[in-house]
Amino acid sequence: MIVMKFGGSSVESAVAIDRVASIVRARLDRKPVVVVSAMGKTTNRLLAIANAAVASDKEGALRQLEELKSYTLAEGGSCGGRVEEHFRELADLVSGLAVIGELTPRSIDAISAFGERLSSIIVAERFRMLGIDAVHADSREYVITDTRHTQAAPLYPETYERLAANLKPVAEKQVVVMGGFIGSTKAGVTSTLGRGGSDFSASIIGAGIDAEEIQIWTDVDGMLTCDPRILPAGHRVRVITFAEAAELAYFGAKVLHPSTVLPAVEKDIPVLILNSRRPEVDGTRITAQSVPCRNVFKAIACKPEIVSVNVRSLRMLMAHGFLRRIFEVFDRYETSVDMIATSEVSVSLTIDNTKNLDSISNELREFAEVSIEPEQAIVCMVGEGINSTPGIAGRVFTALNGTNIRMVSQGASALNLSFVVNGKDLVRAVEALHEEFFSDPDPDVFEPKQ
């Protein structure tokens, strides 16, 4: 039994869904459970509709909803009236939001969940029309979460019990199609796992049914040695470890949600990254076992558009409790820190969520000097061979000759060497590093760019 997750671009149209059906049909002997994201940009459109409703533009919200309905019916069909039924429910929800005039985390989950609810119904029906014995399953009946709406955490014992007892027997006989990203609380209230959570859903479901493999089907050939939006000359990574993939995902590799690997790691289930437009490509295999590689690094991840926050002690020394006070401020505003560097009297750190930056800065200024550097970028070099290879830092910084490095981090993880550069220097830095470390890729680990 395998889990096959298809992203929004893989189910964005009738043509794309038919392509997915052919991929699934070729693997029927492996008893696939199919997990799908919302069609195309449906989630963004749903949230725009919700925002219009609470902004007292009910007419505009309902007009956008009709446009979304037309798109959905054109690409997915009516599915025996189930799509129309969902849109009636959506219209009621939008009207309610217009009356209340407030968009709470719970209501955000309620409306954004419709993307996956609709796409999973449409895909299951299309499979049946094409002769695949498929059945739809509502993920909210299986993935049970806490009540932290918009960023819910799964309750694993309850979720795994339901998946094993109720879903697995069905999947032995039919192709089950489910929506990713969504779940429900113990009380039955719709919840979501956060943006990008469909990958996470696939991993949770795979762990719950003891799948032999979890396949993440996207619109790229797998993980690459660098972000193709930054540098299109990257090589495909054939195989990588869970730990390396998690580091890359956290530091900007968009093909994998950072939390995806967690349930898979616990159950030692391989994860494959594959291209739904080029199913003949082997993709990238993520496993627990290390594979010998003559290249020190497996890939370069980037996080552009981050902000550096520099905090300097007013007492001109790192007084007891100074770090604690700094992180208490970030904790109060639920703002994660990516990188941190300290000296005798100051702390520099980076964040990518600037929503509460002004409030954070004002609180920090009560006990420290604060300066902000916007438009920075993190470059993260990931590989298992870093700590065991002498002179790596020297090679990195020699390759970056002429690029001003703002902050360096190595040692917190044995797998990465990270640093901050000005955003305008990002492309040049990645080009130089890729030439230095990937000009002779190990063919057992990489598929060289043709």
Highest average pLDDT, of 80-89, 172-181, 194-203, 285-294, comes from 172-181
Q: How far apart are CA 297 and CA 438, in angstroms?
A: 8
Using one digit for the tens of pLDDT, what is the confidence trace for 121-165?
999 999 999 999 999 999 999 999 999 999 999 999 999 999 999
Say whether domain 2-219 belongs to CATH 3.20.20.190.
Answer: no
Per-domain boundaries in the chain = 2-219, 299-447
How high is the pLDDT of residue 23? 98
Name beta bridge partners: 373.
Answer: 308
Is it the case that residue 257 has pLDDT exceeding 90?
Answer: no
> CA 98: distance to chain centroid?
31
Question: CATH assignment of 299-447?
Answer: 3.30.2130.10
How high is the pLDDT of residue 32? 98
- For the record, the structure tokens of 351 come out as 């964040």
Q: How confident is the model at residue 77 (pLDDT cuts 50, 70, 90)?
A: confident
Is it the case that residue 250 has pLDDT exceeding 80?
Answer: no
Q: How far apart are CA 33 and CA 11, in angstroms?
A: 16
Contact 274, 213 (CB under 8 A): no
Amino acid at residue number 10: S
Q: How confident is the model at residue 258 (pLDDT cuts 50, 70, 90)?
A: low
What is the DSSP secondary structure assignment for residue 413, as one 8-state letter?
Answer: S
Q: How confident is the model at residue 388 (pLDDT cuts 50, 70, 90)?
A: confident
Using one digit for the tens of pLDDT, what is the confidence trace for 261-316?
789 888 999 999 999 999 999 999 999 888 889 999 999 999 999 999 999 987 76
How high is the pLDDT of residue 70? 93
Is it the case that residue 256 has pLDDT exceeding 80?
Answer: no
- Mean pLDDT rounded to a whole number for the chain: 92
Contact 279, 342 (CB under 8 A): no
Task: Give one word for 131, left, alpha or beta, with left for phi > 0 and alpha for psi -120 to 50.
Answer: left
How high is the pLDDT of residue 316? 60
How high is the pLDDT of residue 94? 94
pTM for the structure as a whole:
0.87
Q: What is the mean pLDDT of residues 49-65?
A: 94
Is it the case that residue 191 has pLDDT exceeding 90?
Answer: yes
Q: How confident is the model at residue 345 (pLDDT cuts 50, 70, 90)?
A: confident
Using one digit for the tens of pLDDT, what is the confidence trace for 435-447?
999 999 999 999 9
